[in-house]
Structure 1
Amino acid sequence: MERKDRILISSVRIFIKSQKAVTVCLVILSLFFLMAVLAPWISPHDPIQVNLAFKLRPPSWEYPLGTDHLGRCNLSRLLYGARVSLGFASLIFISSLGIGLLVGTFAGYRGGWIDLLLMRFCEGVMAFPSLVLVLGIVGLLGPGLWQVVLALMMVQWVYYARMFRSMVVSMKEQNFITAAVISGSSSWKIIRRHMIPNVLPPIVVVGTLEMGWAIMDISALSFLGLGIQPPTPEWGAMIHEGKAFIRSQPELMLYPGLMILFVVMTFNILGESLSERFGIKRRN
């Protein structure tokens, strides 16, 4: 490796570990979420309105990023696509985290055959590649965005459950938990007041990395035609529609591809920065 390459890699690592990286990533992600929320007000055109007289128009004042093969505004579709990608990725993360929190905490605290049964089930799910398992579930449920969301939730929660369970098992032996048990606190009170507040922050850190994977999974399945269905705008579906014009109008694939790349990269940098700071390892 050349000296310049080593310097560049070292600089990137130093940036990731710095407070500035966290701040920059949070600002960028806030702008993306704000863009998604305000899409109905800031989009110049209706994202699903077809106007064949304006198809494949170059960028102009009326259409800042041009139009697609059906005359729809590319900028408007990108803005509305952010609502789907970011919104449903957040839904998958929150839902999976909630299910994993309940199952993992309950299994770790109770132990015994309940813990054994639940963890063996989680290990069975984790034995399969996640995307292959999601494809199988979507194949059974049929194509559609909600089917994809349900399939991703069914696969993702087991990873959170495993992490929560391991944290709770190690925490049960701590003195403050023993003191709470001796004082007569109920199991639910101990879990709610002592365990969940201590195990939730590390999982949220790991969740920032998982948000990027959720966005990529949604986009990949939409690209394959299994996710969002036309005419609803979504970044992966936009890449699928633009592949027929890759030689004449490559920007139809470039715009949504850059959006996916930028958002996922920002989530990953944020997750890696927080992981470095708190000493938390991400799952493989």
Structure 2
Amino acid sequence: MMTVRRFFQQPKMILVCIIIIFLLFLIAILAPWLAPNNPTVVNLSMKLQAPSLDYPLGTDHLGRCNLSRLLIGMRISLGFASLIFISSLVIGLVIGTIAGYIGGWFDYTLMRICDTVMAFPNLLLVIGLVGMFGPGLTQVVTALILVQWVYYARIFRGMVINLKAENYITAAQISGSSSWKIMKKHIVPNVLPPLVVMGTLEMGWAIMNISSVSFLGLGVQAPTPEWGAMILEGKSFVRSNPELMLYPGLCIMLVVIVFNLLGESLSEHLGVKRRF
């Protein structure tokens, strides 16, 4: 019988997850054309309608098309989660690599900053920053980037410190290669494999946090459709129309599960350890 570990190591599992994620991004890109109705138009005469040909998943309390809002919400969640991941990764990669390779006061200062940020729970710190910046999607994205880059920086710093002890790095230093050239040609390429794993895992983290902050009313503001905000709007109708919360909740769960499955599979297949 196949063990769980062997299941995650299967290339087919990785391929299936990649295909699903590709389809999700494709749907998100084409969302404005796939949406059957305008997701922000209010029509109170059509509020809380059952599924029909015009409204495949029914309407919400303001008569807006649930399916259209879910599709546009997917675009927001995936798009901004990607922005958060890429921005945090680039900042963390640059700062962590420099700190790990050069060391000294820069490395010491970085570690103190990282220790301070990591002393607080992620979501709590994000909520605190959004509270200072003010509610809104831009503020949420900025807060998530400010919180997340320190984790990447710390991870890359540790990798670089280990790589510095390798013989080929010593040989490059003896040959007269500059620090910039060594980091570019020998350090960065060797820390790239873990990026793939961290990227898939952190995408789920980013989507969850965007939705969580929006659910608290600090993220995406009406009438912009976003999954967390849709759950917030639907909670008042949880008894009479639970599907208003169920639809976006299932979307969040599906996307996070797929990204986490891909991350776990790649971690096992490539032999990369997670940060947790």
| Structure-2-length-normalised TM-score | 0.97
Question: By how many angstroms is 1:170 displaced?
Answer: 0.8
Q: Which residue of 2 aligns with 1:172?
A: 164
- Matched position secondary structure for 1:134: helix
- Matched position secondary structure for 2:275: coil
Question: By how many angstroms is 1:11 displaced?
Answer: 5.8
**Which of 6, 18, 30 pairs up with 2:22?**
30
1:276 aligns with 2:276: no
Q: Which residue of 1 aligns with 2:258?
A: 266
1:50 aligns with 2:42: yes
Give deviations 1:136-173, integer Å, cap 9, x for gaps: 11111111111111111111111100110011111112
Partners of 1:139 and 1:283 in 2: CA distance? 28
1:229 aligns with 2:230: no
Partners of 2:163 and 2:65 in 1: CA distance? 54
8 Å contact kept, 1:160–1:203: no
CA shift in 2, pair 1:116/1:17, >3 Å = same
Q: Which residue of 1 aligns with 2:77?
A: 85
**Which of 149, 155, 158 pairs up with 2:147?**
155
Partners of 1:174 and 1:12 in 2: CA distance? 34
Q: Which residue of 2 aligns with 1:192?
A: 184
Q: Which residue of 2 aligns with 1:239?
A: 231
Point out where structure 2 has 5 or more consecutive residues left out of the alignment: none
Q: Which residue of 1 aligns with 2:57?
A: 65
| Structure-1-length-normalised TM-score | 0.94
The count of aligned residue pairs is: 276
CA RMSD of aligned residues (A): 1.3
Point out where structure 1 has 5 or more consecutive residues left out of the alignment: 1-6
**Which of 207, 216, 220 pairs up with 1:215?**
207
Question: By how many angstroms is 1:13 displaced?
Answer: 4.6
Query: Residue type of the partner of 2:133?
Result: L
Q: Which residue of 2 aligns with 1:3?
A: none
8 Å contact kept, 1:93–1:211: yes
Q: Which residue of 2 aligns with 1:181?
A: 173
Percent identity of paired positions between Structure 1 and Structure 2: 68
**Which of 94, 113, 117 pairs up with 1:125?**
117
Question: By how many angstroms is 1:40 displaced?
Answer: 1.1
CA shift in 2, pair 1:11/1:235, >3 Å = farther
